[in-house]
Amino acid sequence: MQAKHSISRRHFLRGQLRGHIKETRPPWALPENDFINTCTGCNECIDKCPERIIVKGEGGFPTVNFDFGACTFCQDCVAACDEAALSITDAGQAPWNLTANITPDCISLHGVACSSCADSCEEEAISFRHQIGGISQPEIKTGLCTGCGACTATCPVDAIKISEKTVCEEYAYDHN
Ligand code: SF4
Ligand code: SF4
Ligand code: SF4
């Protein structure tokens, strides 16, 4: 009965994937199709994350919600995953392919001084470009950004989104 349940859930999720609904998996997750086929939805990674940023997503699979905090890359979720749906196969393996992006809602782009995101970024991946008139506008240095999400919670207008790096952004990160 359990297996039947599990299979129908996987079919449902494959349908979701074909519909391009994509969630942010915990760091060091297998590629999405392999992840869906490997993760049992046991909740161990959710329970072991000290930052409490992993929640149950579509189909009961774990997903990261940066509204709750940032990833410290502590690897506790990886250690908790007996199925190896989260796994580190070589020492230099990147945790994921994410970067922060500043959206047009940023109040600095509209003449209001703000530097909350830069102040929260330990990687110093956010710099400010000075504009005529004295207001500065934020820019993400993709080569430094780890996609940790620390900047998102501090933005007063929810103007920072964490998303997959483009090919150019990936190149910048790899050659930093
Ligand atoms: S690496 Fe640590 S902080 Fe990041 S999701 Fe896993 S358990 Fe949570
Ligand atoms: S996601 Fe993390 S590393 Fe990237 S800009 Fe935000 S705080 Fe800095
Ligand atoms: S914290 Fe938000 S509003 Fe402030 S500069 Fe950064 S992106 Fe813009």
Which pLDDT value is given to residue 166? 76
Which pLDDT value is given to residue 133? 72
pTM of the model as a whole: 0.83
Confidence of residue 20 (pLDDT cuts 50, 70, 90): very low
Rounded to the nearest integer, the mean pLDDT of the chain is 87
Q: How far apart are CA 134 and CA 130, in angstroms?
A: 7
DSSP 144: T
Local structure of 138: helix, strand or coil? strand
Range 54-78 average pLDDT:
96
At residue 56, what are phi and psi to the nearest 5 degrees?
-75, 130
Name the strand (E) or helix (H) holding 36.
helix 32-38
Whether the predicted pLDDT of 8 surpasses 80: no
State the ligand closest to the CA atom of 142.
2
Number of other CB atoms surrounding residue 77 within 10 Å: 28
Which pLDDT value is given to residue 132? 74
Range 125-143 average pLDDT:
87
Range 80-107 average pLDDT:
96
The strand pairing partners of 162, in sequence order, are 100
Question: Ligand 2 test: best mutation among 97, 124, 146, 162, most atoms within 8 Å of CB?
Answer: 146
Which residues' Cβ are closer than 6 Å to ligand 2?
100, 120-121, 123, 125-126, 140, 145-151
Q: Which two tokens stand for residue 169?
A: 């952004």
Confidence of residue 172 (pLDDT cuts 50, 70, 90): low
Range 31-44 average pLDDT:
97
Local structure of 68: helix, strand or coil? helix
Q: How far apart are CA 37 and CA 2, in angstroms?
A: 15
Question: Ligand 1 test: best mutation among 66, 74, 86, 148, most atoms within 8 Å of CB?
Answer: 74
Whether the predicted pLDDT of 10 surpasses 70: no
In whole angstroms, what separates CA 155 from the centre of its chain?
16
Domains plus CATH for the chain? Answer: 2-80 (no CATH), 98-174 (3.30.70.20)
Q: How far apart are CA 144 and CA 167, in angstroms?
A: 15
Closest C-alpha residue for ligand 3 atom 6: 117
At residue 136, what are phi and psi to the nearest 5 degrees?
-105, 150
